[in-house]
Amino acid sequence: MTAERYLGAGAMEDQAGGLTGAIPAHLPARLAITLWDFSWYTQAGPGQPYADLEAAVADAASLGYNAIRICAAPMLLFGGLGLDEMAAGLEIEGLGVAPSGHYGQRTRWYDTPGGYRVDMYRRTLELFEAARRHGMVVLLASWEYQQSPAFAASPRWFEAIDAVPLEARYDALAGAWDRMIAWLTDHGHRESIALVELHNEVDFSILPFIGDPSGRAAVTRLRESHPDLLVTASYGKPPHLAMHQVPGELGAAQLHVYSYGVLDELQKRIDIRSEGTEGFPNQALRALLRPDAPSVAEYGRPASWKMRATVVTNQMIYGYDWVDPEAWDAWLNEHYAPFAEVMAREIESRVIAIAEWARWRGVPALVGEGWIGYTPLHGGFEEGEVGRGLAEHGIRTALERGVWGVILGSNAAPHHPMWELREWQVGMNAEILAVR
């Protein structure tokens, strides 16, 4: 009795348990998500990971995934910007031809050589049809104000969406989504839509604050137009210590959980995420470069419009293209120990913050990206024992807290080397889908 009287807070019943919010009845009880982003159309040329879309979907299903998260390019297809003809024959170029290979050749997501055209209308329907055949659902998002147009051969897509005044962009996105949802419904795919995100990572995109009136109104408008669908926007770095700042209009908590930790320490040391640093690359980065690395001047840079169309910097493109992945991984592994506990705690506390905000608002929670951060294409730190351990900790915390959908890791997709960890993916997806 003494403990209950004087330590009452500690004796309170834990409120966690069950999903944080109701989901539409036709959707799966849990989502095991694979992140295909824009790569499902920017890496779809001959011999590339998504060349055979049916095979790619079937392969994902065989690994236990039941949800695919994509950039559906709503502004390109249904933005009313005069881009319909371009969308029907979108020429993919990537970041362009470099003195050796192509820019972004050893980065993640940007390793796109291009050289083909794709009918985005037809391809979108093909994806939904394949998803239905294999028991998958699709999470729709847009990366258009973050990076997608940079992979096109023409600047028209970027210039058209960039011409939309900043304060009007959420409204334009809502209108495009409204028309796209109607089109998918007409083709019989409405029940395959698991989620509609106004935009991916609104805090890291060329958009106003989602909490501004324009953002709140756009989400509300789309939710009211489609009350049977989950409509939201995602954050790259939610305000975990002040979750009351997240707009209550969001119909789902699709918030990302990255704990950079030791990776951030390395990135700051080598100054790889900045732009225009005098003397770049510094001595610390030069020590990690491949022996055949050209100078920054020799390597050049992508077309200026492509850099305006993406949030990555020229220093990132050069650095990730020419860093020695073994030296990169060795540094991370050597310096990881002091960061181990804080990274695990950070992942856990951020997942809990998201889940509890969602439970408070009565909406489903999802982690559509995570867990460590952006590494070179062939760096194996996140795929290794340390990275997998942190991912497992995040996934299990999410399941315990009632998170509806969760990703194994942002790199668990056909266009990343992590796709080869097949047994691990099968096991973790089975664990996700077994929870009720």
Residue pLDDT, tens place only, 46-93? 999 999 999 999 999 999 999 999 999 999 999 999 999 999 999 999
Determine the residue type at 327: A
Rounded mean pLDDT of 97-113? 96
Q: In sequence order, what E strands does 249-327 have? A: 253-254, 257-258
Give 185's contacts (C-beta < 8 A, 6+ positions apart).
none
Q: What is the mean pLDDT of residues 105-115?
A: 97
The one-letter amino acid code at 37 reads D
Mean of the per-residue pLDDT values of the chain: 96
Query: Is residue 336, in this structure, part of any structural domain at all?
Result: no
Q: List the domain range (segments joined by +) for residue 413.
A: 28-260+345-434
Q: How is residue 87 written in tokens?
A: 């969308």
Phi–psi pair at 116, nearest 5 degrees: -155, 170
Domain assignment of residue 5, yes or no: no
Q: Does 427 have pLDDT greater than 50?
A: yes
Q: Does any domain span residue 361?
A: yes
DSSP code per residue over 159-204: HHHHTS-GGGHHHHHHHHHHHHHHHHHHTT-GGGEEEEESSS-GGG
% of the chain surpassing 90 pLDDT: 96
Average pLDDT over residues 126-148: 98
- Residue 331 resides in a domain: no
For the stretch 344-355, pLDDT in tens is 999 999 999 999
How far apart CA 427 and CA 424 sit, in angstroms, is 5
Please state the rounded mean pLDDT for residues 213-227: 98
Average pLDDT over residues 179-183: 98
Whether residue 2 is predicted with pLDDT greater than 70 in this model: the reply is no
- What would the mean pLDDT of 251-264 be, rounded to a whole number? 98
- CATH number at 400 reads 3.20.20.80
Under the banding of pLDDT at 50, 70 and 90, the label for residue 436 is: confident
Residue 7 has pLDDT above 60, yes or no: no
Q: Can you tell me the distance from the alpha carbon of 161 to that of 153, in angstroms, rounded to the nearest whole number? A: 16
Q: What is the pLDDT of residue 293?
A: 98
Q: How far is CA 266 from CA 16, 69, 122, 269, 286, in A?
A: 36, 29, 43, 5, 13
Residue 267 lies in a domain: no
Read off the pLDDT band of 16 (50, 70, 90): low
Q: What do you get for the CA distance between the two ends of the chain, in Å?
A: 35
- Residue 136: predicted pLDDT: 98
**Total domains in the fold of the chain:** 1
CA distances to 301, 391, 412 from 415, rounded to whole Å, are 23, 19, 8
What is the DSSP code (8-state) at residue 257?
A: E
Residue whose tokens read 């050893």: 106
Q: What is the pLDDT of residue 87?
A: 98
CA 126 – CA 138 distance, rounded (Å)? 12
pLDDT band at 4 (very low <50, low <70, confident <90, very high): low
Q: What is the pLDDT of residue 11?
A: 46
**Mean pLDDT in residue range 419-436:** 97
| Greatest alpha-carbon span in the chain | 76
Per-residue pLDDT averaged across 220-226, rounded?
98
Percent of the chain with pLDDT over 70: 96
**Among candidate residues 302, 305, 285, 284, the one with its CA nearest the CA of residue 293:** 285
Q: What is the pLDDT of residue 332?
A: 98
In a domain, 304, yes or no: no
Nearest-Å Rg of the Cα atoms of the chain is 21
Closest Cα to residue 32, out of 365, 368, 406?
Answer: 406
pLDDT at 3 over 90: no
Mean of pLDDT values over 92-111: 97
pLDDT score at 12 = 45
Instruction: Flag whether pLDDT at 5 surpasses 90.
Output: no
Average pLDDT over residues 293-308: 97
User: Which one, of 13, 18, 14, 12, lies nearest residue 362 by Cα?
Assistant: 18
Domain presence at residue 399: yes
Query: Which pLDDT score is estimated for 348?
Result: 98
Cβ–Cβ under 8 Å, residues 71 and 143: yes
Asked if residue 120 lies in contact with residue 74, where contact means CB atoms within 8 angstroms, the answer is: no
Span 384-398, pLDDT tens digits: 999 999 999 999 999
